[in-house]
Amino acid sequence: MEAEAAKFIGAGLACFGMAGAAIGVANIFSNFLSGALRNPAAAPGQFSNLIFGFAVTEALGIFSFLVALLLLFVV
């Protein structure tokens, strides 16, 4: 197999990692929503925790996207 073909296959495989990150991000927001609907008064206080948790989890999905980009454009 040529290196070019292997690069494209690798880039495609790397995108599977984003599935886990997507589930993680959805988890965070769904838990925040269910908590906020039970206790709306406490929701604004936790908003910054929400944004922080979202950013840290999305980072892992971006890491996998980065691997795909590295394979396509840098290697």
Partner 1 sequence: MADPNVVDPIHQFAITDIFAFGDSGLGITNASLFMILTTGLIAVYLILSTQRRSLVPNRLQLVSEMAYEFVAGMVTDSAGKEGMKFFPFVFSLFMFVLVANMFGMIPVFFTVTSHIIVTFALALLVFVVVVVYGFMRNGPKFLKLFVPSGVPGYILPLVAVIEVISFLSRPISLSVRLFANILAGHITLKVFAGFVVTMGSLGFLGWLGALLPLALTVGITALEFLVAALQAYVFALLTSMYLNDAIHPSH
74 touching partner 1, by CB under 8 A: yes
Instruction: Show the site string, 32-61: x = touches partner 1 by CB under 8 A, - = not.
Output: ----------------x--xx--xx-xx--
Tell me: does residue 63 bind partner 1 (CB under 8 A): yes
Give dist(CA 44, CA 26) in Å, integer.
Answer: 19
Nearer to partner 1, 22 or 59 (CB): 59
Rounded Cα gap, residues 36 and 29, in angstroms = 10
Write out the two tokens for 64: 């996998």
Q: Which of 6, 26, 1 is nearest to 72 (CA)?
A: 6
Asked if residue 25 binds partner 1 (CB under 8 A), the reply is no
Q: Which among 29, 11, 22 has a CA at the least distance from the CA of 61? A: 22
Contacts with partner 1 by CB under 8 A lie at 48, 51-52, 55-56, 58-59, 62-63, 65-66, 69, 73-74
